[in-house]
């Protein structure tokens, strides 16, 4: 990056607001949100590791989702909290690390949500063959592929984006180093980088979201065949909760990364980004797991076990 012929070594992130009073209120809200996110996800991971009854493919994937959500939230929120106290400058290397980490976690979550939808599809449509199809080796292989693909795409997008020259300034009206924001600020040819981002979005957002939608259509069709009205209501309640989180995450991420570069204001971009960076890590453990009776029983067993030791 260059600015008037000289290399840019630091970038200034303006954050969510420049009003000190608003920033203090936001600091409290996001601090509590972050603590709740970390505690709930860490609790779920602990339960999945300690309790033998949760050593199943579904909870293996849920545990990985919670670890991912802890990382995902930690990429943004601590730095955002610092921005509420004072405007923060970030070095180019720090910006690169933040962009790579955010892309890695975001892409991984896109793929993992699709894998989890497939897990539920197999469990509901092929219950007798579930353990055979969703073997431990398959689950581990899918997670390794998920992280590997995410790393490659994140690295390519980060390198191409940070090579773009900025248009005469180093101030970013955003709360983290996001690739799409750099496209709007660049004064060079962004065609190649834009095409890579669009192509990557199709691979890691549109395809997994379509796959997830198809899985849930089959799941809901099967649920309609349940004779018990109580069973149908319970199953629909769970599916509806899952679909709300999936829709928020996929919908806002797809809109952010696949809309025209010139569309929307910087403030709108920041609000949209919050929906897929902060909200899912907070809601996922509550919707996917902590409402689940198996998890509640496992947590109770862990608590009782520790109280007797």
Contact by Cβ (8 Å): 119, 57: yes
* pLDDT tens profile 67-82: 999 999 999 899 899 8
For residue 309, the model assigns a pLDDT of: 55
For residue 257, the model assigns a pLDDT of: 84
Stretches in the chain below the pLDDT threshold 70: 1-9, 168, 231, 234-235, 237-238, 260-266, 289-291, 302-303, 305-309
For residue 247, the model assigns a pLDDT of: 85
* Domain boundaries of the chain, sorted by first residue: 2-304
Look up the pTM and report it.
0.87
CATH architecture of 2-304: Up-down Bundle (1.20)
For residue 264, the model assigns a pLDDT of: 55
For residue 262, the model assigns a pLDDT of: 58
For residue 6, the model assigns a pLDDT of: 42
């Amino acid at each position: 990056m260059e600015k008037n012929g000289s290399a840019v070594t630091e970038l200034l992130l303006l954050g969510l607001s420049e009003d000190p009073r608003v920033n203090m209120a936001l600091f409290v809200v996001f601090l509590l949100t972050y603590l709740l996110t970390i505690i709930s996800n860490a609790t779920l991971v602990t339960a999945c590791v300690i309790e033998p009854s949760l050593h199943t493919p579904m909870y293996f994937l849920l545990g990985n989702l919670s670890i991912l959500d802890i990382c995902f939230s930690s990429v943004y929120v601590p730095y955002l909290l610092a921005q509420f106290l004072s405007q923060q400058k970030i070095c180019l290397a720090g910006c690169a690390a933040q962009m790579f980490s955010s892309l890695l976690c975001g892409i991984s979550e896109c793929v993992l949500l699709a894998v989890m939808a497939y897990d539920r599809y197999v469990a509901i449509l092929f219950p007798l063959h579930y353990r055979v199809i969703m073997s431990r080796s398959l689950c581990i292989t899918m997670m390794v592929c998920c992280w590997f693909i995410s790393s490659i795409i994140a690295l390519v997008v980060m390198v191409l984006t940070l090579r773009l020259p900025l248009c005469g300034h180093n101030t970013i009206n955003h709360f983290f180093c996001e690739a799409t924001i750099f496209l709007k600020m660049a004064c060079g040819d962004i065609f190649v980088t834009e095409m890579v981002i669009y192509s990557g979005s199709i691979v890691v957002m549109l395809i997994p979201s379509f796959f997830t939608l198809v899985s849930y259509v089959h799941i809901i069709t099967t649920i309609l065949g349940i004779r018990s009205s109580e069973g149908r209501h319970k199953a629909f309640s769970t599916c509806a909760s899952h679909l709300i989180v999936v829709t928020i995450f996929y919908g806002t991420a797809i809109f952010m990364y696949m809309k025209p570069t010139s569309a929307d204001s910087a403030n709108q971009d920041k609000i949209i980004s919050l929906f897929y960076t902060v909200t899912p890590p907070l809601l996922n453990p509550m919707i996917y797991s902590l409402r689940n009776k198996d998890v509640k029983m496992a947590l109770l067993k862990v608590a009782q076990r520790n109280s007797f030791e």
